[in-house]
Amino acid sequence: MKLDLKKDHNYQNGIYDFMAGTKSIVVANKEIDIEVDYAWDYASDPVITPTIIHEWKYLDKLVSKNVLKNARSILSIGGGGSSRTHEYLSPVTQEFTILNTGMWDLVNAQIPIETINTYLICATGEDMPILDSQIDAIEIPATLDHVIDARKVIEECYRVLNGGGKIGITLGNSDSWYRKVVSNLRIQVTSNHDHHHNFHFTSKDVENLLSEVGFTEVKTIGTAYLKLPKTIERKMKAPVLLAAHRFISNTMLRLLFGNSKGGMFLTYAMKPTAR
């Protein structure tokens, strides 16, 4: 993979730092702060239950199957930290790049086996220091709702992807059936984290965004349909209980509600090859 090393950067401890102390970017003549360093280890977060982690692992496997498979070069935007992408790379993968605005995520990134060249880049998704047509597959795991300019990030993904390359985006779904129930019942939900989301996407929002930028073969797989009280979810640690939860959540309830109403989703697409 070729980086745009003409951009100002530092290289230290295996990390290419293109941020140079940047804490904000300008969008539509408005300066907006970047989420620079949100250090979060989900394994120690009491809000995160075994069923949530199990749902995330299921999403990772869907990304591996539908996006990362047979990709020689992979870019993870917003990866690092406690992300487990390195466990789901294709056997043919030769290059794995993690791009994140947070240095904590890069320092604590899980690195794949030594035979895979790994690049750690501190930069924004809106201005990636990667030359055109370098990447076979891109994942954006639970990150697009934290960026400043979502469309610009998708445009940058289109630019750095090879023709025929794939992109996969995972997110929580603002249009899930149970969020609708909570809203209709006017149940107050408080945030347990000290960071915010700049966007609240539905799967249709992401599908439209990808299509508008030029991606084709846009598809969505809904997940995480089963939502139980936290007191129950915390007790579901046995593999047989988690397997039963996954079957109900991602098979039975998906058939009932359709692909657009789960609590999470994967939307993936392809950059068309040049004619």
The predicted-structure confidence for 184-203, as pLDDT tens digits, reads as follows 776 665 555 555 678 889 99
Name the domain count of the chain.
1
- Residue with the bigger pLDDT between 198 and 154: it is 154
Span 255-273, average pLDDT: 95
For the whole prediction, is pTM greater than 0.95? no
Could you tell me the residue range of the domain that residue 121 belongs to? 10-270
Mean pLDDT of all residues belonging to the chain: 89
Task: Examine residue 64 and state whether it is found in any structural domain, yes or no.
Answer: yes
Span 32-45, average pLDDT: 72
Task: Examine residue 204 and state whether it is found in any structural domain, yes or no.
Answer: yes
Q: Provide the residue type at 37 as one letter.
A: D
Convert the pLDDT of each residue in 51-70 to its tens digit: 999 999 999 999 999 999 99
Span 46-53, average pLDDT: 87
Task: Examine residue 2 and state whether it is found in any structural domain, yes or no.
Answer: no
Task: Examine residue 3 and state whether it is found in any structural domain, yes or no.
Answer: no
Rounded to 5 degrees, φ, ψ at 62 are -65, -40
| 8 Å CB contact between 118 and 111 | yes
d(CA 155, CA 216) in angstroms, rounded, equals 14
Q: Provide the residue type at 10 as one letter.
A: N
Convert the pLDDT of each residue in 211-229 to its tens digit: 999 999 999 999 999 999 8
Task: Examine residue 220 and state whether it is found in any structural domain, yes or no.
Answer: yes
DSSP-derived letter for residue 158 is H
Task: Name which of 183, 206, 196, 225 is nearest 58 in CA terms.
Answer: 225
Name the pLDDT band for 125 (thresholds 50, 70, 90): very high
First to last CA, the chain: 23
Convert the pLDDT of each residue in 86-117 to its tens digit: 888 888 999 999 999 988 899 988 888 778 99
Is pLDDT above 90 for 264?
yes
Task: Name which of 49, 59, 51 is nearest 223 in CA terms.
Answer: 59
Span 251-271, average pLDDT: 95
CATH number of 219's domain = 3.40.50.150
Task: Examine residue 164 and state whether it is found in any structural domain, yes or no.
Answer: yes
How does strand 264-270 pair with strand 161-172?
Answer: antiparallel
Is pLDDT above 90 for 169?
yes
Task: Examine residue 196 and state whether it is found in any structural domain, yes or no.
Answer: yes
Task: Examine residue 19 and state whether it is found in any structural domain, yes or no.
Answer: yes
